[in-house]
Amino acid sequence: MAKTSPDQISLVLNQTVNESGDAAAGIQTTATMSVGDEFRGTLGSSGDADWVRISLTAGEKYVFTVWGTGGSAAGVDDTTLTLYDANGSQILFNDDSDASNGVRFSQISYTAATSGTYYLKVDNYSDTDTGNYILEAATDVFTVDQVVNQLAEYGWGFSTPVAFDHTNITVNLTGLTAEGRQLALWALEAWEAVSTLRFTTTTSSSADMIFDDNQPGAFAGPGQINTNTGTNTQSTVNVSTSWINAYGSEIGSYSFLTYMHEIGHALGLMHAGPYDGSATYGSDNTYLNDSLQMTIMSYFNANTNTFVNGSEYNPITPMIADIAGIWQLYGTPADINAGNTVWGHNSNVGGYLGGVSAILFDGGADRNQILDENAPIGLTIVDTGGFDTLDLSTASGTQTVNMAAGGISDIGGLTGNLVIAQGTVLEKYVGGAGQDNVTGNDVGNVIKTGGGDDKLFGQSGNDTLDGGAGNDTLSGGADWDQLTGGDGNDRVWGGDGRDKAWLGSGNDFFFDNAQAGSNGADTVYGGGGHDKINGGGGNDVFYGGAGNDTLSGGDGDDVLSGGTDWDQLTGGNGNDRIWAGNGRDKVWMGDGDDIFYDNDQTGTNAVDTVYGGAGKDRINGGGGDDAFYGGSGNDTLFGGEGNDILSGGTDWDQLSGGNGNDRVWAGNGSDKVWLGGGNDTFFDNTQTGSNGKDTVYGGLGDDTINLGGGDDWASGGAGADTFVWNADQNTGADLISDFEDGTDVLKMANITFAELSISQTANGAEVSWDNGSILLEGVASSAITADDFVFV
């Protein structure tokens, strides 16, 4: 069977449903529960039976369990359970789930044949047994709470949990050898470290727990139980010397696991399933994830279990369900491992766990032979206070870590051998030279790794992720994260929240999402390498840095800075501000009122191309032979230095060529143009009417000004300027304010001098033809001869 277990243990049941009135005994019942719920009811009188409606899904396997609660006086001691279909026809019946071990409660496992309504009938064997009960509906993958019900609620077969009525427990170890005594002390310390329990050794025969090794095998349990209250007054624990001889005497040995397991019995925890002495996975387990990964009270290691992802290992602590179970029996501790705890390298955890950490992660010598270094081990971390760190920086190979409560991790070359307990919050992770795959939790995590192609997932909280060297994958998740790619070709996702990212060297990718507003405003620094930075929603700020970068702002009012080298920048929607920087850049400003800024770099590497798009754009050139296209909207284009190309596009634009031999296209709209210094060329189009009325200032240099449709106004400025018309087009009534006879030239296509009419007006000489006219302001008509024209 393929191992398909997730890397997260489900922790809690859905909800508790209480019987309202008396549930009817038939399909007319109004009592309802869902899978994952507990239904609490009462058989109030002789012959009473409760029916509860539930919806199931075809093909899914379910486990239904009912047990008495409230003690022998108030709870049902011997239940029965029946499953019916939607018509009230019986499908399955169970009386005793584990009669051989004295458990007279009931349990049914069932794979639904069809989707829809089913009914569960709770009754008692004698038909006269009354009292309270709990009905649990689970899938065949149990949550921690559902495992705890097996361990601490119904596993013993009593209508009450079994436990001492105090937490300061005396233990008598005099019956053990030195090796057995040391194992017992370590195991007692393991239970103390995760609970409210405190153990004191004594030589008294009335101690709460009596340890011995004089009988074969290993067994333990409560010996003096009040079945009404569940109070136990004395337990025994026996682990034989031959057991220790066979299975070792160090932490990590099967003997150590056995001592923790048997002490669990003595404290009130039953096995993880309906078995005792021996069991076979696939036939004796009730639920798929019954394994040592969940509880040391299981008989199945994580490798024998074919559902969970896990190696064969011996736990060296109580596991997640054991911890939850012991809290249920003896109360939840106010704080465990208070302060800023470090697990792993440079651990400040005390006791035997601190010694194990020093050996495994710090290269410490095992002078006292406390650890079976040949035995693969697993553990559950429980830590409820302070700023806590898991430091695996000295571990080699791949580490896969889930920092969330219930998370299952693969460390030290094993699989599924580290579990995070309920209520535990790890804030920081430190990785090593191998590949770290780390998933954070819902607080602000600090996750820092070294070499290797790491995968870091921040989840919720204001996280700080640092991939270090290697081709890393970083995902910030929700909230305001700080992400550092480091060396290598990294892939970085910002997620929700106002994130900051430093991509570092390498050819990196940054991906944003569509979140808008102030929480979607991300800041990204590309660093060295050919980076691709993709914005989504929000007012983002992207810096490409060195390398041929590709920046896309997406929605929002973004700031894009290409940095050095040949970049491609896309503003997207919104009012964006874009800086090209050094290099031969291409820019698509997109929709919105955008602003582009060039720098003073000259030469072939300074040739920028900018497309304004829709909106009132402002494009500011610097050095270099740039090409600027305004697109739609009332744009303002400045060529700056260099031989630039300016195209205003549609609407009313303002175009300034600056120094250099520029070429300027006005496009549609009533445009204003300043050609500036240099031998510039202006091109008009054929648009007529008020929207085709352009104003052109030539400036210094020998300019060529092509006038098209509309009543245009032109000033050639200093230099020998050429004004150009096509007589076949409707060119409008144009005006040249500073035509200099003998210096400037009127160039006309598709017409001859004889076809022109030259007359004097109050404002100057007017040259007219069928499709247009030119007013040469301040010029006498007598001065205009064929020598002022060039006909083509």
Answer whether 338's CB lies under 8 Å from 386's CB.
yes
> Which of the residues are catalytic?
262
600 burial level (CB within 10 Å; 0-12, 13-18, 19+): exposed
How many helices (DSSP H) and strands (DSSP E) are in the chain?
A: 6, 59
Helix (H, G, I), strand (E, B) or coil at 167: coil
217 conformational bin, left if phi > 0, alpha if psi -120 to 50, beta if neither: left
The C-alpha atoms of residue 183 and residue 268 are separated, in whole angstroms, by 20
The C-alpha atoms of residue 235 and residue 232 are separated, in whole angstroms, by 8
Q: In the structure encoding, which two tokens stand for residue 736, read together?
A: 């040249």
Q: Let me know the angle formed at the C-alpha of 770 by 768 and 772, rounded to the nearest 5 degrees.
A: 55
Closest to 76 measured CA to CA, from 6, 115, 134, 17: 134
The C-alpha atoms of residue 718 and residue 700 are separated, in whole angstroms, by 5
Q: What are phi and psi of 39, to 5 degrees?
A: -110, 125
Torsion of the alpha carbons at 706, 712, 713 and 718, rounded to the nearest 10:
0
Secondary structure of the chain: what % helix, strand, coil (to 5)? 10, 30, 55
Chain-centroid distance, C-alpha 655: 47
Q: What are phi and psi of 98, to 5 degrees?
A: -155, 65
Chain-centroid distance, C-alpha 13: 25
The C-alpha atoms of residue 351 and residue 336 are separated, in whole angstroms, by 14
Q: In the structure encoding, which two tokens stand for residue 505, read together?
A: 């060297």
Ordered DSSP codes for 210-222: EEE--SSSEEEEE
Per DSSP, what are the bridge partners of residue 40?
18, 134
What residue spans of 193-319 are helical by DSSP H? Answer: 241-247, 254-267
689-700 b/e (C-beta count within 10 Å ≥ 16 → b): eebbbbbbbbbe
Element (H, E) at 168: strand 168-175
The C-alpha atoms of residue 416 and residue 370 are separated, in whole angstroms, by 23
Chain-centroid distance, C-alpha 312: 30
Amino acid at residue number 31:
A
The C-alpha atoms of residue 413 and residue 7 are separated, in whole angstroms, by 16
